[in-house]
Structure 1
């Protein structure tokens, strides 16, 4: 089983089949999004015609939204999926948030949360999208604590409750809007329906993948992850490879070509971060070049399915329409792309920025 090839095909990094950001995000289930700029490239990279303006338009219109969902960290998800994803994650996310607040000496009572949610509802009603700084006076007016860390806590809890999500784009600033004003109502799913849908999205886009990978990616307990896999068992093929059990979804592509394929992957990209075991594309001896023990992921160069180097942008949106090429370096001396293949990958990223 050629794990890198099958993952490249189903992660849409080779021969992508989707033309819009919504289609990409819907297929992937979720795209990690700590770094907004990197997350936009992660989506654009998987489109037939990568275009930053198209990704930004989808975010601005609320077709896809950026919020805290699984584990719980920043993700971009399809707007229509947000409510049922939050339903799956809400309880475990709240435990993690409250533990974090306690460690920061910033515990929130239910009464405080209720008051904060009322403030957010009033401040954002009427389709407004506001930054945290713009929300601060509303909390001050209601005599609620409004230091930066307290505002951060209110917003995290409001995201987790299903009250707010990302609003309209405002340059590099994150804004918040009311979910019920930004996202049309959707049919409610039972927990089992939601588990099955999440498993389907993960295994069709990340296959071949193991149960342990799904547990890591989703933040579900092992018990619930097993249940999710069982719910879609008739859609999955089990493959045993080098002593491990992998799942492939019926919707997966398993045949294609990756000869000479090179891509500049952003930090926190799903091709690496979407798995607990990353050794199929990055041997342990090279992993410090791609991520740290503290969960920081770096931009990497992918060649023939393997991660072989690092890259870094040298400029941020200059006034001109051209972008200087990124700087590149290689940590795999045994696997280096040709100059032409690397130049093509660099040109693709530059074209994405200018479209």
Structure 2
């Protein structure tokens, strides 16, 4: 695939982002399902991210918690499950089979083999593969009887889940592990169990487990085509590098899927080649300037491997942790300009790090978004699981917001 004749510059990419990611004031969604469908996947490693990402994009943000809980736990139109790069996401339930077949099967096979090896070798042969299979069958039967259960509840039904083995024996990272923690994770990667309603509030990371709803088994190549097509519709244009990073696939799989869907090459600012879906070459009209406060691990901030078109490299040390996880970010008109945090009393505070071209209108719009976020949080304190330098500084620093 060579360079195409159509050029999509940075300004147009930012306009596409505003509309397709539901961030422009005129593009906001009515339901969490619309948000998830527009973004394909919401990062679910930090439970609060799901709610904050949805709330930033809802027309009526005050309904965020109730509506997300309805979608996840009552209507089951959204599902929290393992997906790309061994990471937990929230997907539209209709995509569960596509995600499982396109990315989960390979990950699951590796995770299963590692589990059996670690349990057997880490117990000195005391725990065998046959023993593990018996415990697994018993635990799944108990989960089916209960409907939903915590690991603690399951261990009361199947005490062998509490057995321990040594992970990485003789290595610097040697540590004891419990069969239950590893087994439930592998069952999640295999798509056999999903995370259910958490204990406590919506910010809690102590989830119950539930047996996964049945879904059809799809051919992996067809599922890869469908996932890539949906993601390009949401995030195109994107480069091969972006696609390989986001999916976690081999470059040969990315190229095969691009060819299969007839992806159209376009040139980007800087000379790189990006791809869009067929029929998506039409220019995106400019949109009104917009402001947003997006959470740590937001799918927009984490959507591309090459982020220079919306995030200046000099801002990264303040906004990312040491593992590459983005923290809470402040956006103006398609680019990251700073970060935000909550103080101990729940107040939302923010700081601009890149003020180029920001006038009074921008600062006032950001302040309105901060007030909007603070209103629906209603005093709930949210601390990101992966904390970044600016977030930690702002959360501990006294003084007026926006300084």
Both structures adopt the same fold (TM-score exceeding 0.5): yes
Number of the residue aligned with 2:187: 158
Count of paired positions: 341
Partner residue of 2:40?
29
| Residue among 14, 33, 42 paired with 1:4 | 14
Task: Quote the residue 1:320 is aligned against.
Answer: none
- 2: CA distance, partners of 1:110 / 1:16: 52
> Structure 1, residues 285-327: CA drift from partner, whole Å, max 9, x if none?
21112213413321010111111111112358xxxxxxx5311
The alignment's TM-score, normalised by the length of structure 2, stands at 0.76
| Partner-residue secondary structure (3-state), 2:148 | coil
Structure 1 residues 114, 79: closer, same or farther in 2, change over 3 A? farther
Q: Does 1:344 align with 2:339?
A: no
Change (3 A) 1:95 1:106: farther
Aligned twin of 2:401 = none
1:57 corresponds to which residue? 70
Tell me the alpha carbon deviations over residues 45-90 of structure 1, each in whole angstroms, 9 at most, x when there is no partner. 2333332210122111222122221100111112222233122222
Could you tell me which residue of structure 1 aligns to residue 349 of structure 2?
327
Matched, 1:255 2:268: no
CA contact (8 A) 2:98 2:224 kept: no
Aligned CA-pair RMSD = 2.9
Aligned equivalent of 1:92, options 100, 107, 132: 107
Please say which of residues 330-339 and 155-164 is displaced more in the overlay: 330-339
Gaps of 5+ in 1: 317-323
- Deviation track 1:199-227 (CA, whole Å, cap 9, x = no partner) reads 11111111221121111111111111111
- Is contact 2:45-2:89 (8 Å) kept? yes
Alpha-carbon distance change, 142 to 221 in structure 1, aligned in 2, over 3 angstroms = closer
Point out where structure 2 has 5 or more consecutive residues left out of the alignment. Answer: 1-8, 166-175, 379-403
Q: Which moved more, 1:332-341 or 1:148-157?
A: 332-341
Change (3 A) 1:343 1:98: farther
Does the 8 Å contact 2:162/2:179 carry over to 1? no
Comparing 129-138 and 335-344, the one that deviates more: 335-344
User: Could you tell which deviates more after superposition, 51-60 or 93-102?
Assistant: 93-102
3-state secondary structure, aligned to 2:305? coil
Decide which moves more: 39-48 or 154-163: 39-48
Moved more, 16-25 or 210-219: 16-25
Label 1:103 to 1:301 Cα distance change in 2 as closer, same or farther (>3 A). farther
Displacement of 1:29: 1.9
* 1:101-134: CA deviation from partner (whole Å, max 9, x where unpaired): 9799859965355234313312211462112232
Whether 2:59 is the aligned partner of 1:48: answer: yes
Rg comparison, structure with higher value = 2
Secondary structure at 1:125 match in 2: helix
Return the offset for 1:99: 5.9
Q: With structure 1 as the length reference, what TM-score do the two structures score?
A: 0.85
2:163, 2:179 within 8 Å by CA — same for their partners in 1?
A: no
Deviation digits for residues 184-211 of structure 1, max 9, x if unmatched? Answer: x444422222111101111111122112
2:85 is paired with a residue of what secondary structure?
A: coil
